[in-house]
Amino acid sequence: MAPLTHEATAIEATVTVPAKHSEASVDVVVIGDGPAGSALALACTAAGVDTLLVGDDAEWGNPYGTWIDDLDAVDILTGHDVLGAGPFDVVAWSDRRHDLGRAYGMLDNVALRTVLRAGVTHRFGRVAFVRTARGRHTVELDSGEQLSCRLVVDAAGWPAAFADRVNGSSTPAWQTAFGVVLTEPPAGDLAQPTVMDFRSPSEQHARAPATEYSTFVYSLPVADGWLVEETVLAARPAIDPLDLLPRLAARLQTEPDALLSSAVRTESVRIPMGGARPRRNQPIVAFGAAAGYVNPTSGYSVVHSMLMATPVAAAIEAVLGTSPDDEVADSIPVWNAVWPVAHRRTRTLHDYGLDMLTRLDADQTRQFFGEFFDLPPDMWPKYMRSGTPPTELSAVMARLFRQAPWSTRRRLMVGNPMAFARLLRPS
């Protein structure tokens, strides 16, 4: 299947401000011009907040996959087509095939970038340091230019460049992957768009290398070919992406050198899964991956960041109106909008699920996802969303627990059965 390319049309150009050795005064400085920072700067600008986006304007090189129903819920993208490939009917494999009945696609990074930068004032440069004060904060660029503002938002990615974290910069687990983009779809089952195939290569090809950890393969059309990626969902410590190359080659019935020679390009991925949220009582607010938005069940954060941009921008607009222009904004109401109470409880449930998954071996992981994708099609997607209400997520987890075999149940309750029961109790 050939990838579909869509261009965004009739979009206002980014407002670029040339750097100079002077002081600029704005209400909000958003540090980091990736998808999360750009989305928040766009939402703030749309809300009438005087906002400056600061970043080095680097390309967005990572492929961003998304479920179409989640993408459709992003209000700041209304009226714009940012799909680069798809939508696709996708499948998953445990020890059997699961037709998921939920459309999936790959984002067009160029189109997405254009939409999220429309009308946003953007300063190119790197931030050298941030000086917080009771009056206005100062953000100094490596060029020497100083920016004066009432609120600083760190959206520069995990582990946060300027916002302090609760427990340092450690993260509990890593998702890593190594992939190749091929000119043609791979042979066999992987020619069907596939989000997860947990079958071991050793079950399909005798020469597959043995591993001590579980992996799955991800196979989807992208703008320049067909991406096939061997992935470790979550591991402590991190598995080096390059260590996955022999396993991927065996899955594709070839040798590593031959696979690399035939590839249009390669992908190497490292994603922190979970991790502590930034401290609440600090003047700098984090957003996006810097705020711990990476979903512990999937590794996704881009769509959730875009979904949260509008309510966070509304909180910023409201808090700016409660103090004079020469005073800093109260950061705590903004932090509360970044991490609402319900989302914090949902995150606790997700973190528990992540901890459990890291304890499963390959056979148990395959069995778990077989049970997971056997859930009703209106239930399992809720588990993969960061914004699912905790009562609904508890219901999904309880249903999965009831239908799981006893070997998996014991893993789910590891450590403290009463604590696990409390997690699943509606609240």
User: pLDDT for 113-170, tens place per residue?
Assistant: 999 999 999 999 999 999 998 889 999 999 999 999 999 999 999 888 899 877 555 5
pLDDT-derived band at 4, boundaries 50, 70, 90: very low
Supply the DSSP string of 208-276, one letter for each residue: PPP-SS--EEEEEEETTEEEEEEEEEEESSPPPGGGGHHHHHHHTTS-HHHHHHH-SEEEEEEEEES-P
57: region left, alpha or beta (phi > 0 left; psi from -120 to 50 alpha): left
Residues 57 and 78 in one domain: yes
Q: How many domains does the chain have?
A: 3
Residues 347 and 400 in one domain: yes
Would you call 205 exposed, middle or buried from its count of C-beta atoms within 10 A (0-12, 13-18, 19+)? middle
Q: At residue 246, what is the residue type? A: P
pLDDT-derived band at 207, boundaries 50, 70, 90: very low
**Length, in residues, of the chain:** 427
Residues 140 and 251 in one domain: no
Q: Say if CB 116 and CB 39 are below 8 A apart.
A: yes
Residues 311 and 182 in one domain: no
Residues 70 and 128 in one domain: yes
User: pLDDT for 348-395, tens place per residue?
Assistant: 899 888 888 888 888 888 989 999 999 999 999 999 999 999 999 999
Which range of residues forms the domain containing residue 255? 173-272
**In whole angstroms, what separates CA 159 from the centre of its chain?**
13
Q: Say if CB 391 and CB 426 are below 8 A apart.
A: yes
Residues 39 and 130 in one domain: yes
The answer as to whether 303 is a domain residue is: yes
pLDDT score of 10: 30
Q: Say if CB 401 and CB 412 are below 8 A apart.
A: yes
Measured in Å, how far apart are the chain's first and last C-alpha atoms? Answer: 46
- Determine the Cα–Cα distance for residues 31 and 221; give it in Å rounded to an integer: 32
- Beta sheet of 284-286, edge-to-edge order: 15-16, 121-124, 51-55, 28-31, 151-154, 284-286
Q: How many other C-beta atoms are found inside a 10 Å radius of the C-beta of residue 139?
A: 25
Q: Which is higher by pLDDT, 425 or 208?
A: 425
The answer as to whether 45 is a domain residue is: yes
User: What's the token pair of residue 425?
Assistant: 């109790």
Residues 299 and 183 in one domain: no
The answer as to whether 100 is a domain residue is: no
User: pLDDT for 11-36, tens place per residue?
Assistant: 333 444 444 434 689 999 999 999 99
The answer as to whether 7 is a domain residue is: no
The answer as to whether 93 is a domain residue is: no
Which CATH number fits the domain that encloses residue 226? Answer: 3.30.70
Residues 401 and 319 in one domain: no
Supply the DSSP string of 77-88, one letter for each residue: GTT---EEEEEE
Q: Say if CB 53 and CB 120 are below 8 A apart.
A: yes
Given 237, 254, 272, the domain boundary residue is: 272
Half-sphere exposure of 387 (CA within 13 A, CB side): 15
Q: What is the mean pLDDT of residues 270-288?
A: 89
User: pLDDT for 221-253, tens place per residue?
Assistant: 998 899 999 999 998 889 999 999 999 999 999
Q: What residues contact 150, with CB distance under 8 A and at least 6 apart?
A: 27, 28, 136, 137, 320, 323, 325, 327, 328, 329
- Determine the Cα–Cα distance for residues 36 and 386; give it in Å rounded to an integer: 15
Q: Which residues does residue 235 pair with via DSSP β-bridges, in sequence order? A: 174
Residues 304 and 239 in one domain: no
The answer as to whether 247 is a domain residue is: yes
Lowest mean pLDDT among 203-217, 242-256, 285-299: 203-217
Q: Which is higher by pLDDT, 237 or 39?
A: 39
Global pTM? 0.89
DSSP 8-state assignment for residue 165 = B
Q: Which residues does residue 170 pair with via DSSP β-bridges, in sequence order? A: none
Lowest mean pLDDT among 7-16, 259-268, 270-279: 7-16
Given 339, 357, 372, the domain boundary residue is: 339
Q: What is the mean pLDDT of residues 336-357?
A: 91
pLDDT score of 414: 61
Mean pLDDT of the chain: 87
Quick check: helix, strand or coil at residue 132? Answer: coil
The answer as to whether 204 is a domain residue is: yes
Given 321, 339, 357, the domain boundary residue is: 339
